[in-house]
Amino acid sequence: MYQLIDGKKIAGQIKEQIAGEVKKIKQQGGKIPHLAVILVGKDGASETYVAHKEKACHQVGIHFTLIRFEDNVSQNELLNKINEINNNENIDGMIVQLPLPKQIDEQKVIESIDPEKDVDGFHPVNVGRMVIGIPAYISATPAGIMELIKHYNIDTQGKSCVVIGRSNIVGKPMSILMMQKKALGNATVTVCHSRTKNIKELTLKADIIIAALGQAQFLTADMVKEGAVVIDVGTTRVKSDKTKSGWKLLGDVKFDEVAPKCSYITPVPGGVGPMTIVSLLKNTLLAAQKKIYN
Ligand code: GUN
């Protein structure tokens, strides 16, 4: 029988801890942590993610400011706003919700954020610090996955780990964290991507599979060995007439057939997703406490 990794439950527990920390700051007369989110345009998925982030901030007492731009905003306007937030001592952390419209150079935007306020951990300074294993803001999804691995005491030492997907936000940082010479690392990591020729051969040997390619229901039972740990990062939105919103989320894993072969597996929704938001809250708290850069 497999163990379900309950991200929703763990996220709830961590949220309570964060709320406690924020309360302590308040009681001691300190400055309440403050997150600013820049949202450009009206992309449906981005609207949903940002709404979740806002709600989570309110739940733990973190101040939240949303700055909206039309999707025809110029790059200069956006960079000016980021510069303004960089210099605003009242704001501890900032994120620019991705993706951005095509007239805007995403990398330039990321690099304009002060690394000390980059609670998404996307700035090259934070990525570089993470790679060499010194304190850094670590991007929210990989940080959330590591938290789940810690909570469920999943042994990663010397295990073979296959990461499917090589995005800057998930696949790449995940592969680094799993190989890091640390208690929650020391795995032998293989990264698979769209040009990999023998994915099934590789996943069949894996003790831990992290599916982060963004292709709904990609990982099937015949690709997974008995007793594997499977982490599903997929969040493909598909139309559904069974939900109030009119859509539902599909993971990168065919859960029903893969789960019976697993020792541990994350569901979608309720697995990695809730942990991502909690990691952002945690990073914002760290930013307010100046715990990464001091
Ligand atoms: N778009 C999808 N995921 C993320 C994220 O974690 N942060 C930001 N800023 N944009 C995203």
Write out the DSSP string of 48-115. HHHHHHHHHHHHHT-EEEEEEE-TT--HHHHHHHHHHHHT-TT--EEEEPSP--TTS-HHHHHHHS-G
Write out the DSSP string of 140-178. HHHHHHHHHHHHTT---TT-EEEEE---TTTHHHHHHHH
Final residue of a structural domain among 95, 122, 149: 122
Q: Is 120 in the pocket of ligand 1 (CB under 6 A)?
A: yes
Q: Which two tokens stand for residue 141?
A: 């999804």
Q: Is 97 in the pocket of ligand 1 (CB under 6 A)?
A: yes
What's the CATH code of the domain at 38? 3.40.50.10860
Burial tier of 241 (Cβ tally within 10 Å: 0-12, 13-18, 19+): exposed
2 is a domain residue? no
Q: Is 125 in the pocket of ligand 1 (CB under 6 A)?
A: no
Q: Which residue minimizes the CA distance to atom 1 of ligand 1?
A: 98
Among 58, 131, 100, CA closest to 284: 58
40 is a domain residue? yes
Please give the number of the atom of ligand 1 that sits closest to the Cα of 96.
9
Domain count, the chain: 2
pLDDT of residue 201: 98
Q: Is 98 in the pocket of ligand 1 (CB under 6 A)?
A: yes
pLDDT of residue 287: 98
Question: Which amino acid, one-letter code, is at 257?
Answer: E
Q: Which residue minimizes the CA distance to atom 7 of ligand 1?
A: 97
Q: Is 118 in the pocket of ligand 1 (CB under 6 A)?
A: no
Q: Are 118 and 199 contained in the same domain?
A: no
Q: Are 148 and 251 contained in the same domain?
A: yes
- 125 within 8 A of 149, measured Cβ to Cβ: no
Q: Give the Å distances, CA to CA, from 66 to 59, 85, 94, 200.
A: 16, 12, 10, 43
Catalytic residue, candidates 92, 118, 120, 252:
120
**pLDDT tens digit at each of 294 positions of the chain:** 999 999 999 999 999 999 999 999 999 999 999 999 999 999 999 999 999 999 999 999 999 999 999 999 999 999 999 999 999 999 999 999 999 999 999 999 999 999 999 999 999 999 999 999 999 999 999 999 999 999 999 999 999 999 999 999 999 999 999 999 999 999 999 999 999 999 999 999 999 999 999 999 999 999 999 999 999 999 999 999 999 989 999 999 999 999 999 999 999 999 999 999 999 999 999 999 999 998
pLDDT of residue 294: 84
Compute the distance between CA of residue 153 and CA of residue 134 in angstroms, rounded to an integer: 23
Q: Which domain holds residue 148?
A: 140-274
- 170 within 8 A of 153, measured Cβ to Cβ: no
CA 125 to ligand 1 centroid distance, Å = 18
Question: Which residue(s) pair with 192 in the sheet?
Answer: 164
